[in-house]
A and B are shown apart, each in its own frame.
Chain A
């Protein structure tokens, strides 16, 4: 469960070493090229999986315990 910080707590947190340490300058921009490359990777992974044969009886490797 999240709880909200007071302004004082937030100021303390932000002046901690974390905030004082080096951070990248300027707002990052998501380039269309980056997004296209990431989506291409998702598709390439799907294609690699499609080529992998799996016996029909093989169940996924996760468990649900009731």
Chain B
């Protein structure tokens, strides 16, 4: 039996697949090693919802037979991965991270799971999440069936939400990649806090069939991985038209960053206030250095303003109205009170009060937001902002109360809003975003987010690939793993 060294747990998809094909180790050996590590270390970060060792081994056996017969299915063949526990896997519990759904089992697979199976990826386990993806608005990181997501870089810090498990599991080398979801911030935030590369695809590019619905017009699924290149490889496998998802854009994705425009021709819009005023002081040197690296690639950074809209109110109204419809049976039955977080319970109950006129007004304003961003992307090619302005918050810190200190906003809010609303704005407009680790503050990861026009993933990935060719933040490992 081949020795699986620690470096294997932090290898990229391309590296691992090459070593599998060269028979340095078998897919079964790899699946055993990852399954064992996931079961052993997953609970340390409250990152594991359900281990699937037998299923993983069965799939790995199939992969070994395929490789033996030269039936090669691409770079994901034999690669162990995990999914956020809002994706259904036939015959296994799908808890949505919430006690009222702890015994829920579906009899079908999510489309992304089927797509990944078809290219030979090995599902090693389901990963934890904030209950119901946190749509009600939660106060504490403990708003989850599996307890607070603990950050592999420092377990006194939060791993972020709502895709807590996917981010922590990739950061700690428990899986090579993971699939998470974002309605507003649930990929960008945990990826930033855990120091992993992640991609929020354009709305409609990846089928959500078999995923928990939180807000139909906002929900997206996307990968957490070790590099921009890995994200591109995964997106190619999971993207595509799906008649079972009414929101499907009917488009495929082919990872071809080499055919995008040269970086020296790109204009990147940014707001200096994000980096010099809104960023936590300890984070500013790392952000400054990251901007310097980007400038070295030849891109032009140009000062830009976001179109002026009440993004938070628009997004919150749409999210509340849609989740009220999704979870009305839970609320009406009283089982909503079984959730772990009092603020989340209150938020879900209050969401029933959103008037239809407010929802429709929000959706009309959303149209204006889309049009404004469409105009903005005629002036700049992509937008750049910190993933989060500060490193991960303390795990016991109330999340709905800002204030100075780690993770909080500055004591006196700067007059220039910068791109503070880039997360709700980008989600309202359905824009893709790539999260790139870019340094450290307080020994915790920081990240940039690069946001593009709809279906501009190859451009974002090309920027990310070039940034990562010049830095190694994305390959850093947490201590003690």
A residues contacting B by CB (< 8 A) are: 1-5, 9-10, 13-14, 16-24, 27-31, 34-35, 37-39, 41-42, 44-46, 48-52, 54, 58-62, 65
Contact at B367–A58, with CB atoms within 8 Å? yes
Given contacts A5-B105, A58-B368, contact A23 B345 (CB under 8 A): no
User: Which residues of chain B from 355 to 401 have a CB within 8 Å of any chain A CB?
Assistant: 355, 358, 360-370
Partner of A45, one of B93, B317, B369: B317
Q: Would you give the shortest CB distance from A47 to chain B, in whole angstroms?
A: 8
In contact, A28 and B340 (Cβ under 8 angstroms): yes
Q: Which of B243-264 contact A (CB under 8 A)?
A: 246
Instruction: Convert B337-356 into 0s and 1s, putting 1 for each residue whose CB lies closer than 8 angstroms to a CB of A.
Output: 11111110111011101110
A34 touching B342 in the complex, CB below 8 Å, given contacts A18-B48, A22-B46? yes
**Contact size range, B:** 35 or more
Task: Name the residue on A nearest B150 (C-beta).
Answer: A22
Bound: A16/B108 CA distance, A: 21
* 14-56 of chain B: CB within 8 A of chain A: 39, 42-43, 46, 48-51
Q: How far is the CA of A51 from the CA of B132 in the complex (A)?
A: 31
User: Quick check: B316 and A18 within 8 Å, CB to CB?
Assistant: no
Please measure, in the bound complex, the distance between the C-alpha atom of A2 and the C-alpha atom of B349, giving whole angstroms: 24
Q: Which residues of A contact B362 (CB under 8 A)?
A: 49
Q: Which residue of A lies closest to B316 (CB)?
A: A45
Chain B residues with CB under 8 A of A16? 49-51, 93
Min C-beta distance of A23 to chain B, whole Å? 6
Given contacts A18-B50, A59-B364, whether A13 and B103 have CB atoms under 8 Å apart is: yes
A28–B345 CB distance below 8 A = yes
The 3 closest A-B pairs by CB, nearest first: A22-B147, A60-B363, A38-B350
Contact A38 B347 (CB under 8 A): yes
**A28-B337 in contact given A13-B50, A18-B48, A18-B146 (Cβ < 8 Å):** yes
Contact pick for B148, options A22, A37, A45, CB 8 Å: A22
Q: B residues touching A (Cβ–Cβ < 8 Å)?
A: 39, 42-43, 46, 48-51, 85, 93, 95, 102-108, 128, 136-137, 140, 142, 145-148, 217, 246, 309-310, 312-314, 316-317, 320, 337-343, 345-347, 349-351, 353-355, 358, 360-370
A24 touches B105 (CB 8 A): no
Name the residue of chain A whose CB is nearest to the CB of B38: A17
B48 touches A21 (CB 8 A): yes
Contact partner of B217 (CB less than 8 A), chosen from A14, A29, A62, is A62
Tell whether, in the assembled complex, residue A49 and residue B347 are in contact, meaning their CB atoms are under 8 Å apart: no
- Chain B residues with CB under 8 Å of A17's CB are 39, 42-43, 48-51, 146
Please give the distance in Å from B318's CB to the nearest CB on chain A. Answer: 9
Contacts A30-B342, A34-B346, A35-B349 known; list 9 others, CB within 8 Å: A5-B105, A16-B49, A16-B50, A17-B50, A22-B46, A22-B146, A23-B147, A38-B343, A58-B364
Cross-chain contact of B346 among A35, A46, A59, A60 (Cβ < 8 A):
A35
Q: How far is the CA of A58 from the CA of B365 in the complex (A)?
A: 8
Q: How far is the CB of A17 from chain B (nearest CB, A)?
A: 4
Given A42-B320, A52-B309, are A21 and B46 also a contact pair (CB < 8 Å)? yes
What are 6 A-B residue pairs whose CB atoms fall within 8 Å in the complex?
Answer: A17-B39, A28-B345, A38-B350, A45-B313, A49-B314, A62-B217
Given known contacts A30-B349, A61-B364, A61-B370, A13 and B313 CB-to-CB distance under 8 angstroms = no
Q: Tell me, rounded to whole Å, the shortest Cβ–Cβ distance linking A44 to chain B.
A: 7
The winner among B313, B337, B358, B362 for most chain A CB atoms within 10 A is: B313
Contacts of A1 in B (CB 8 A): 106-108
- Chain A: which residue is nearest B90 at the CB level? A3
CA distance A39 to B316 in the complex (A): 12
Residue numbers in A under 8 Å from B369 (CB-CB): 61
| Chain B residues, Cβ within 8 Å of A37 | 346
Q: What is the distance, in angstroms, from A7's C-beta to the closest C-beta of chain B? A: 10
User: Pick the contact of A3 from B49, B106, B217 — CB < 8 Å?
Assistant: B106
Q: How far is the CA of A20 from the CA of B217 in the complex (A)?
A: 35
Expressed in whole angstroms, the Cα–Cα distance for A31 and B370 within the complex equals: 38
